[in-house]
Amino acid sequence: MADLLSGLESLGLGDLSGLDIYNKKESASKKDDEPKKEATVKIEETDFLFDKKFECPVCNKSFKTKMIRAGKVRLEKIDTDLRPIYENVDTLKYDAIVCPHCGYAALNRFFSYVTHKHAKIIKESISANFVNTFDDLPTYSYEDAIKRHKLALLNDVMKRAKDSEKAYTCLKLAWLHRGYIEHLSAETEDFANKVRGLKAEEISFLEKAYEGFKAAFTTEEFPMCGMDDLTVAYMIGDIARQLGKYEEAAKQVSLVLTSRKPNDRIKEKARDLRDMIKEEIRSLGGSR
């Protein structure tokens, strides 16, 4: 667990050994004489961001953080495990909200929901040692975004959040590592080793997401993190596939396809996933 949360040492939260995530029970005008290139508007990541004010539910202090202008982003495609990919900006980098005063952090979906008991735990276990080293930059790098999400995961662990909440944060971390790899320049020093390290981190967080969603599926109510049961079953199936757990992947796909509930979008994805699983098993010589 300490390895999964590496990078938080600079926040004063370095001693994380022994932690377990799952506690078991357009355009400008153009003149005729202007060159064509001057008529092209360069799109910047900052074009999709704005500063939003929050009040921390733990320390009650106000702060601002970068958020996505939802109406300006355009969905390009969706990965098989439902990771959304938008044009020109990775919106996932801006999902974790961090209070710079006390170190409370959570995904946007969960940020406001803190009980008095949880606030006390966070103050004692995180705020007492927290040192804010996050810079107020125009955009978040992948390194910065990953650190913010790891801090959110640490908060989840300390306050003993639901398995689904911890799993969802782990899934976002896996997606961030995947996005980091996709945006990493081939000219980066020690590129191959950097990619290997990021991929290993992605897999580690996928494993924790799988573990958490599996546990939550039979113990928590739906909707779960905004998803119905078929969507979660499908997602568990695809994560299982990525981890090489083909028997479990096929089981989850079957659960979706045999359901009488009318979620046609997910059922269509499940059919594609079923074919993908069969093809991958064939490519392995039927060994799994």
pLDDT single digits (tens) 174-212: 999 999 999 999 999 999 999 999 999 999 999 999 999
Give the pLDDT score at 239.
Answer: 98
Pairwise CA distance, residues 58 & 160, whole Å: 15
pLDDT in the model for residue 190: 96
Name which residue leads in pLDDT, 272 or 27: 272
CA distance 251 to 116: 40
On whether the CB atoms of residues 273 and 234 are closer than 8 A, the answer is yes
Mean pLDDT of the chain: 92
| First-last CA distance in the chain | 29
Whole-Å CA distances, 82 to 77, 78, 171: 9, 6, 10
Phi and psi, residue 140, nearest 5° = -100, 130
Neighbours of 23 (CB within 10 A): 11
Task: Please say if the pLDDT value at position 28 is more than 50.
Answer: no
Gap between the Cα atoms of 106 and 154, Å rounded: 9
C-alpha 185: how far from chain center: 22
pLDDT tens digits for range 216-255: 999 999 999 999 999 999 999 999 999 999 999 999 999 9
pLDDT in tens, 59-89: 999 999 999 999 999 999 999 999 999 999 9
All structural domains of the chain with their residue ranges: 45-219, 228-288
* Other C-beta atoms lying within 10 Å of the C-beta of residue 110: 18
Q: State how far the Cα of 111 lies from the Cα of 113, in Å rounded to an integer.
A: 6
User: Strand pairing partners for 77?
Assistant: 85
pLDDT of residue 286: 57
pTM of structure? 0.88
| Cβ–Cβ < 8 Å for 37, 50 | no
**36 by DSSP, 3-state: which?**
helix
* Look-up of token digits 């573990």: 211
Q: Which of 138, 253, 143 is nearest to 151 (CA)?
A: 143
The long-range contacts involving 225-234, CB below 8 angstroms and separated by at least 24 positions, are 225/109, 225/164, 225/165, 225/168, 226/109, 228/261, 228/263, 229/261, 230/255, 230/256, 230/259, 230/261, 230/263, 230/266, 230/267, 231/82, 231/263, 231/266, 234/82, 234/266, 234/269, 234/270, 234/273
